[in-house]
């Protein structure tokens, strides 16, 4: 009897339907490929055809919620995932530590070399957290999350702030509540502006963000952490680029009410954790700081193994392949998938009864390494159980494009499809 659902998402692992080389197709991943030999496979547009989704809207969709109805901006979700207090009337933004020339505001590296340690990030964040703005009426709460990433929450004691503002990160442009990557951009810190000049809350929010951005550069540029980074030949993390403002959280029914399953989640990044908490999944949180990749992936598997009796379903979001995809590093992306197979799937599959579970494996979006960005391609998906008689040689784009499920038109259909398969296998 199938009584458990394991839903495993390999962030950005897909490379599109016609890649020069497929990271999934060439990776040595015997455990994932073993699952494909008893699986129903296909492709899925995680948000919709023609949409190159950002991670947050994609994750909301693949959990079964229409992002056009429930998405309220990434910033608040990042805040919840980082454990940052946030309430309506404040504005939360996803932020990144960057390297800029303070005299010209020219951006040298939008991610400060991608080598900011958690210790460095935490120290830099302390220097700008609690900054009073607008002659003391405004407040900036900045918290470091992972590596170069952080969360910024702006508040004001006289004005209810609005998130209807533009980004200071020039690489992303607001389209409604979602920021889309630009194909090209001028590498200068942008001044935020109210997208509706008649909206007092947006005007004030943009003013606060611009004041914080300028003052943060002055504080961070000479910070001892950055002086040490310069001496070590590293880029200073001397600026904060912000985007994806939001001023409220989604008002959505809990996932247990939607599907009748008690869901738990294992996530690595603040935005995925924030989404899971906001939509009612039970957060199986753990500490990653100071641990090797092998330790992290093994512990993530153990979180599922040790909690099987407590929950009906598990959503596991593994970040690994996405970043090398953005970096255009095919070898590193393939290696990331291989590490997930070796340290997560190997441990998981050796400690559970595969006849009792339906395992979903997919991606939240494609991040083709040759594009260095998300694409609008559908991603491979499989639903695996030992009772399924269909068989595929491996799990990748080519195999799944020939699968019996064809193309699933929306990520909102993934969990309903899983429930239908589970019911069919038990009848």
Q: What is the pLDDT of residues 80-115, one digit of tens each?
A: 999 998 898 999 999 999 999 999 999 999 999 999
Q: What is the pLDDT of residue 342?
A: 98
User: Do 268 and 410 lie in a common domain?
Assistant: yes
Burial of 5: CB neighbours in 10 Å, binned 0-12, 13-18, 19+: buried
User: Do 32 and 162 lie in a common domain?
Assistant: no
End of a domain among 246, 264, 282? 246
Which structural domain range is residue 117 located in? 77-246
Burial of 234: CB neighbours in 10 Å, binned 0-12, 13-18, 19+: middle
Q: What is the pLDDT of residue 404?
A: 96
pLDDT mean over 314-322:
96
User: Do 67 and 81 lie in a common domain?
Assistant: no
Give percent above pLDDT 70 in the chain: 100
Q: What is the pLDDT of residue 181?
A: 78
Q: What is the pLDDT of residue 427?
A: 65
Of the pLDDT bands very low, low, confident and very high (cuts 50, 70, 90), residue 10 is very high
d(CA 84, CA 266): 19
User: Do 238 and 305 lie in a common domain?
Assistant: no
Overall number of domains in the chain:
2
User: Do 41 and 92 lie in a common domain?
Assistant: no
The model's pLDDT over 59-87, given as tens digits with 9 standing for 90+, comes to: 999 999 999 999 999 999 999 999 998 89
Residue (of 401, 412, 402) closest to 377 by Cα position: 401
User: Do 118 and 19 lie in a common domain?
Assistant: no
Q: What is the pLDDT of residue 180?
A: 76
pLDDT mean over 369-385:
96
User: Do 98 and 221 lie in a common domain?
Assistant: yes
User: Do 233 and 332 lie in a common domain?
Assistant: no
d(CA 164, CA 169): 15
d(CA 273, CA 292): 20
Torsion angles phi and psi, residue 137, rounded to 5? -85, -20
In the predicted model, is pLDDT for residue 179 greater than 90? Answer: no
pTM of the model: 0.92
Q: What is the pLDDT of residue 88?
A: 87
User: Do 290 and 366 lie in a common domain?
Assistant: yes
Could you tell me how many residues make up the chain?
A: 427
User: Do 17 and 108 lie in a common domain?
Assistant: no
pLDDT mean over 231-239:
98
User: Do 221 and 268 lie in a common domain?
Assistant: no
In the predicted model, is pLDDT for residue 254 greater than 90? Answer: yes
R_g (Cα) of the chain, nearest Å: 22
Of the pLDDT bands very low, low, confident and very high (cuts 50, 70, 90), residue 182 is confident
End of a domain among 211, 246, 281? 246
End of a domain among 246, 262, 295? 246
Range of lowest pLDDT (171-175, 180-184, 314-318, 376-380):
180-184
User: Do 241 and 94 lie in a common domain?
Assistant: yes
Burial of 407: CB neighbours in 10 Å, binned 0-12, 13-18, 19+: middle
In the predicted model, is pLDDT for residue 165 greater than 90? Answer: yes
Q: What is the mean pLDDT of the chain?
A: 95
Domain holding 374: CATH number? 3.40.720.10
Of the pLDDT bands very low, low, confident and very high (cuts 50, 70, 90), residue 285 is confident
Give percent above pLDDT 90 in the chain: 91
């Amino acid at each position: 009897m199938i009584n458990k659902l394991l839903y495993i998402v390999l962030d950005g692992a897909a490379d599109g339907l016609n890649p020069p080389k497929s990271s999934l197709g060439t990776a040595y991943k015997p455990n994932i490929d073993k699952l494909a030999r008893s699986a129903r496979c296909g492709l899925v547009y995680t948000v919709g055809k023609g949409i190159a989704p950002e991670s947050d809207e994609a994750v909301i969709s693949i959990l079964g919620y229409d992002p056009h109805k429930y998405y309220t901006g990434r910033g608040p979700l990042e805040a919840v995932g980082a454990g940052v207090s946030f309430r309506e009337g404040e504005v939360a933004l996803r932020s990144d530590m960057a390297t800029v020339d303070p005299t010209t505001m020219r951006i040298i590296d939008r991610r400060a070399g991608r080598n900011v340690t958690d210790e460095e990030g935490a120290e830099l964040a302390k220097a700008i957290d609690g900054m009073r703005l607008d002659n003391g009426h405004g407040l900036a709460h900045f918290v470091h999350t992972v590596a170069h990433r952080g969360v910024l929450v702006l508040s004001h004691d006289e004005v209810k702030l609005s998130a209807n503002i533009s980004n200071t990160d020039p690489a992303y442009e607001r389209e409604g509540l979602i920021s889309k990557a630009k194909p090209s951009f001028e590498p200068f810190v942008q001044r935020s502006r109210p997208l509706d000049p008649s909206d007092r809350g947006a005007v004030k929010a943009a003013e606060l963000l611009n004041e914080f951005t300028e003052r943060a550069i002055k504080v961070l540029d000479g910070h001892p952490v950055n002086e040490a980074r310069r001496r070590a030949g590293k880029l200073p993390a001397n600026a904060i680029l912000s985007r994806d403002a939001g001023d409220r959280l989604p008002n959505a029914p809990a996932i247990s009410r939607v599907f009748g399953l008690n869901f738990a989640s294992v996530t690595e990044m603040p935005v995925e954790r924030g989404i899971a908490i906001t939509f009612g999944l039970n957060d199986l949180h753990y500490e990653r700081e100071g641990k090797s990749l092998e330790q992290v992936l093994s512990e993530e598997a153990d979180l599922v193994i040790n909690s099987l009796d407590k929950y009906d379903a598990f959503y596991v979001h593994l970040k690994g392949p996405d970043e090398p995809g953005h970096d255009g590093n095919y070898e590193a992306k393939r290696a990331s998938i291989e590490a997930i197979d070796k340290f997560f799937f190997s441990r998981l599959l050796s400690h559970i009864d595969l006849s009792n579970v339906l395992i979903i494996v997919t991606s939240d979006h494609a991040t083709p390494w040759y594009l260095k960005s998300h694409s609008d391609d559908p991603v491979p998906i499989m639903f695996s159980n030992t009772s399924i008689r269909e068989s595929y040689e491996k799990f990748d784009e080519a195999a799944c494009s020939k699968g019996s499920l064809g193309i699933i038109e929306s990520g909102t259909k993934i969990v309903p499809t899983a429930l239908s398969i589970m019911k069919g296998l038990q009848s």
